[in-house]
Structure 1
Amino acid sequence: MINTYEEAIDWIHSRLRLGIKPGLKRMEWMMEKLGHPEEESTYIHVGGTNGKGSTVTYLRAILQEAGYSVGTFTSPYFEQFNERISVNGMPIPDQDLVGLVNVIKPLAEELEEAEWGSPTEFEVITAMAIYYFSKVNPQDIVIMEVGLGGRFDSTNIIHPIASAITSIGFDHMQILGDTLDKIAFEKAGIIKKGAPIFSNVHQEEAKRVIEEQAAEREGILYQNPIHFRMVNHHSTEEGEIFSVETPWGSFNNLAISMLGKHQAENAALASAILLYIIKALSFEITGEQLMEGLKKAFWPGRMERLSKEPLVYVDGAHNIEGLLSLKDTLENRFASTSKKIIFTALKDKDLRGMIEILDQMDAELYFTEFDFPRASTAAELYEISRSASKHYNNDWTELIQQVAGNAGEKDMVVITGSLYFLSNVKPIYLKFSKNKNN
C-alpha cells in the first residue's frame, strides 16, 4: 500500500529501469483487469515528432473556453510530475496520484509473473490516466499525447473521435527507424478505422506512407495544405497572426502568443480538428471561443521568456526538427540581437546533426550537462561543434548565471535542448533572477 505522494512518485520512477518495451499486450491486459476504462471516454489522439504538446494545448484551451471540461495526458512534465495528467490545464491533486498508484501497482506486480513481463513507467502512467478520466474524474473530452511512435505506443489502446500527426522528423531512430518513411509508418499506427486523421506532415515520402496507411486502415485523412491550411501568417511583438481555411469553416486574423511559424501551423491544425468536430459531431464551439482559446493557450518551455532584462528564453528544441524551428524563429524575430545559446541534450539524440544546426546560427555557443541517466557531457558536445565561438562548463547553474549575468541590453540568451534539462533550469533561473533584481 502506497501512503504518501513521495512513495507514489518513487514507485513510478522505479519502473524507468525497465526502459522502453513497445507493444500493447500489457496495456490490453491491464485494461481488461480494470473493466475496459479506455472505452468510456471521448478522446482526441495527438501524435507526431514535434508539436504534440502545443497542439494538445491549443485543443484544450479552445474546448475549455467553450465550457467543456478537458482532461489531458502529456509527457514529459515540465515543472511538476502531476502535469502529465491534468484537468483544464491544472495537474491532478497529489492524493489522486497516490490513489491511482494503489489501483495500478497490484496489476503491475501481477503482470511481472505473466508472459509479457512488467509494465514500463510510461505504461503505468498511461493506465493511470485512462482510469482517472473514466472512473475517478470523468471529463467531457480527453486529449492524449502519444509518448513514442504510435503503432506500439501504450496510448494506442484508445479509440478516438479524431487523431492528429503534427510532424515527422528524425527522433528516436533506434526504435522507430532511420528513414522518414519508416518513422511515418510508426506514427501512422494511430490511424483508426472510420476515424478522421489530420496531418501537418510536409515531407513527400512521409506523406505517401500516411496516405497508404490511411487507405489500408480505412481512416479518413485530412492533410495540410490539401484539405486545410494556414494562410496570411505574420509575426508581431506579442506572437503570431494567421488565418485558417478548412472545408468546415474559415477564420481570419487568429492570434497566438507562442512564438514561431511552426506554432501557427500547430494552432491551425488544432483549429481544423475542432472545426471538423463542430460540424460532424455537434460540439458547440463559437468562433469567438475558438479565437479566445487560441489567444490564451500557453505551453511552458516553448520559446518561453523567463526575463526581459536580460532577455532570456527557454525552448525545448530537443531534436533536429526542433532546432530548425528555433533557428527560423531566431533569424526572423530576433535578427538584430546578439545571441548566446546554452545547450545540452541526451546521448540518444542525433547530436552531430543537432550541433551542425547550432553551428550555423550566428551565436556564441555554450555547452553544458545535467544530472540525468542518458545525458551527454559538456565536453562531448563541445568536441562535436565546429563553431569558432564555442565554450563549455560542466556546471550548468554557474554557466547560466555567468552568461545571463554578463548579457547586455542588445544580447539575447537562449537556453535550449532537452526538456528534462529545461525543467531543472526554469525554477533555478527564476530564483536567480529574483535575487539579482532584489
Structure 2
Amino acid sequence: MIRTYEEAVAWIHGRLRLGMKPGLKRMEWMMEKLGHPERRVRAVHIGGTNGKGSTVAYLRSILQAAGYSVGTFTSPYVEQFNERISVNGEPIRDEEIVELVRVIQPLADELERTELGGPTEFEVITAMMLYYFGKQQIQDIVLIEVGLGGRLDSTNIIYPLVSVITNVSYDHMNILGDTLGQIAVEKAGIIKSGVPLVTAVKEPEAWEVIAKTAAERKAKTYRLGVDFTVTDWKTIAEGEQFSLATPFAEYRDLRIQMPGAHQVDNAAVAVMAAELLRLGYSFLIEPEHIADGLATAAWPGRFERVSGKPLIILDGAHNEAGIRALVETVRAHYPDKRVHVLFAALTDKPLERMIRPLDELAETITFTTFDFPRAAQAEALTALSSHPQKAAVSDWAGWIREKKKQIGDDGLLLVTGSLYFLSEVRKRLKNNAKR
C-alpha cells in the first residue's frame, strides 16, 4: 500500500523500466476498468513538435480570464512532478497524487499479469489524469498535451472538442520516422472524425499529410496563414505585439510577454482554438478575455528571464527547430548582447544540428551534463562544436556562479537544451536567490 507522496512518485518513476510501448490497448483496458472517465472529460487535445506547452499556457490563460476552471496535462515538469496535472495553473496536491496512485497501482499490477503487459510511466500518469478530471475534479475544460507523436500516444484515448497540431518538424526520429511526412502521419493521428482542427503547420510535406487526414475524417481545418492570419507583428520591449484576423473576428494590437515569432504563432493558434470553443460549444469568451489572457500568459523555461543583472535567460529548446527559433529570438531582442551559452541535451537528439546555430550565435559556448539516464556527456557535445571558444564542464552550478561575476552589463548568459536540465538549473538559481 502506497502511504506517502515520496512512495507514490517513486512507484510512478519506477515504471520507466518498461520504456516506451506505443499503442492504446493498455489505456483502453484501464479506462474500461475505471468506468471510462475519459468520456466525461471535455478536452482540447494539443499535439505538435514544438510549442505545445506554450499553446496550453495561452489557451488556459484566455479561458481563465473568461471565468472558466481549466485543467491541464503537460510534460515534462519544470519545478515539481505535480505540475503535470494542474487546475488553473496550480499543481494538484501531494495527497491527491497519493490517492490517484492508490487507484491506479492495483490496475497496473493486474494489467502486468495479462498478455498486454504492464503500463508505462506515461500511461500511468495519463490514467491518473483522466481519472482525476473525469471522476474526482471535473473541470469546465481540460487542455491535454500529447506526450509523444499522437497516433499511438496514450492521450489519444480521448475524443476532444477541438484538436490542435502546432507544427511538425524533426524530433524523436528514432520513433516517429525520418521524414516530415512520416512524422506528420503520427501527429495527424490525433485528428478525430468531425472534430475541428487548428494548426500552424507550414512545411508542404507535413501539411499534405495533415490536410489529407483531416479531409478523410471530415475535420474542418483552420490553418495559420491561410484561414486565420497574423498582421502588424512587431517586437516590443515586453515581448511581441500583433493583430489577428480569424474567420469570425479581428483582434488589434494583442500583446504577449513570451518573446519570439514562434510564440506569436502559438498565441494565434490558441486564439483560434478559443474561437472554436466559443462558437461551437457556447463558451462565453469576449475580446477582452482574449487580450487579457494572452498578455498575462507565461510558461516556465520558455525564453524565461530569471535574472536582470546579470542577464540570464533559460530556454528549453530541445530540438533543431526549437534552437533555431531561440537564436532568432535572441537576435531580435538582444542584438547588442555578447551571448555566453551553456548547453546540455539528451543523446537521442540531433545534437550536431542543434549545436551549429548556437556556435554561430555565441561569443563563448560551454557544454555540460546532468543527472539523467539519457544525458549526453559534456566532452561528446564539445566534440560536435566548431566554436573557437568552446569548453566542457562537469560542475555546471559552479560554472554559472563564476560566469555571473564575469559577463558584465553587455553580456547575456543563455542556458538551453533539455527541459530536464533546465529544471535543475532553474531550481538552483531560485534557491540561491532566496539566500
Which position in structure 2 is the counterpart of 1:226? 226
Structure 2 match to 1:87 = 87
Structure 2: how far apart are the matches of 1:121 and 1:430? 28
Q: CA deviation at 1:432?
A: 3.2
Aligned 8 A contact 1:78 1:419 in 2: yes
Equivalence for 2:111? 111
| Counterpart residue type for residue 26 of structure 1 | R
Deviations 1:38-74 (A, max 9, x none): 0001100000000000000111011011110000000
Give 1:431 shift: 3.0
**In structure 1, C-alpha distance between the alignment counterparts of 2:229 and 2:118, rounded to whole Å:** 43
Give 2:103's aligned amino acid.
V
Q: Can you list the C-alpha shifts for 1:296-333, whole angstroms capped at 9, x where unaligned?
A: 11100001011100000100011101100001001111
Q: Summarize the alignment of residues 12-27 of structure 1 with structure 2, pairs less than 5 Å apart.
A: 12-27=12-27
For residues 114 and 217 of structure 1, the distance between their equivalents in structure 2, rounded to whole angstroms, comes to 33
Distance 2:213 2:296 in 1: 35
Query: Structure 2 CA distance, aligned partners of 1:428 and 1:399?
Result: 13
The one-letter code of the counterpart of 1:11 is: W
2:386 aligned counterpart, secondary structure: coil
Q: Distance in 2 between matches of 1:36 and 1:319?
A: 35
Query: What is the alpha-carbon distance in structure 1 between the residues aligned to residue 332 and residue 89 of structure 2?
Result: 30
Cα offset for 1:398?
1.4
Between the aligned partners of 2:46 and 2:430, the Cα distance in structure 1 is 31
Instruction: Look up the match of 1:253.
Output: 253
Q: Is the 8 A contact 1:248 1:276 kept in 2?
A: no
Cα distance in 1, alignment partners of residues 81 and 369 from structure 2: 22
Distance 1:138 1:35 in 2: 15
> Shift of residue 363 of structure 1?
2.8
In the alignment, the residues of structure 2 paired with residue 71 and residue 433 of structure 1 have an alpha-carbon distance, to the nearest angstrom, of 31
Deviation of the 1:434 alpha carbon: 5.0
CA distance in 1, matches of 2:429, 2:319: 23
Q: Secondary structure at the match of 1:400?
A: helix
CA contact (8 A) 1:401 1:432 kept: no
Unaligned segments of structure 1, at least 5 residues: none
Measured in 2, the distance between the counterparts of 1:231 and 1:380 equals 43
Cα separation, 2, equivalents of 1:430 and 1:31: 39
Which residue identity does 2:388 align to in structure 1?
A
- 1:109 is aligned with what amino acid? D
CA distance in 2, matches of 1:24, 1:154: 6
- Asked if 2 retains the 8 angstrom alpha-carbon contact of 1:340 and 1:363, the reply is yes
Q: Return the letter of the residue paired with 1:288.
A: E
Contact residue 62 and residue 290 of structure 1 kept, 8 A: yes
1:428 aligns with 2:435: no
Deviation string, structure 1 residues 346-403 (Cα, Å, up to 9, x no partner)? 0011111111221222431011110100000110000110111211101111121122
Distance in 2 (CA, whole Å) between partners of 1:302 and 1:4 is: 32
What is the rounded CA distance, in whole Å, between the counterparts of 2:57 and 2:102 in structure 1?
Answer: 29
For residues 405 and 32 of structure 1, the distance between their equivalents in structure 2, rounded to whole angstroms, comes to 58
Q: After superposition, where does 1:263-278 map in structure 2 within 5 Å? A: 263-278=263-278
1:122-137 correspondence to structure 2 within 5 Å: 122-137=122-137
- The whole-number CA distance in structure 1 between the counterparts of 2:418 and 2:400 is 15
Checking the alignment, whether the CA contact within 8 Å between 1:31 and 1:37 is kept in structure 2 is yes
- After TM superposition, the structure 1 = structure 2 runs for residues 25-44 of structure 1, keeping only pairs within 5 Å, are 25-44=25-44
Residue 207 in structure 1 maps to residue 207 in structure 2: yes
Letter of the 2:367 counterpart: F
- The aligned runs of 1:253-402 (5 Å cut-off) are 253-402=253-402
Query: How far apart in 2 are the matches of 1:221 and 1:363?
Result: 44
Give secondary structure in 2 for the equivalent of 1:82: helix
Structure 2 alignment gaps of length 5 or more = none
- How far, CA to CA, are the matches of 2:404 and 2:317 in structure 1? 19
- Partner of 1:325: helix, strand, or coil? helix
Question: 186-195 or 247-256: which moved more?
Answer: 247-256
State the SS of the aligned residue for 2:250.
strand
- Amino acid of the structure 1 residue aligned with 2:190: I
Partners of 1:235 and 1:389 in 2: CA distance? 30
Shift of the alpha carbon at 1:433? 4.4
Return the TM-score normalized by structure 2: 0.99
TM-score (norm 1): 0.98
Contact 1:243/1:252 (8 A) holds in 2: yes
SS in 2 for 1:193: coil
Whole-angstrom CA distance in 2 between matches of 1:131 and 1:350: 36
Aligned partner of 1:409 in structure 2 is: 409
- Mapped partners of 1:405, 1:100: distance in 2: 46
- Report what 2:163 is aligned to: 163
Q: Which amino acid aligns with 2:113?
A: E
Check conservation: 2:162, 2:276, Cα contact below 8 A. Answer: no
Identical columns (%): 53
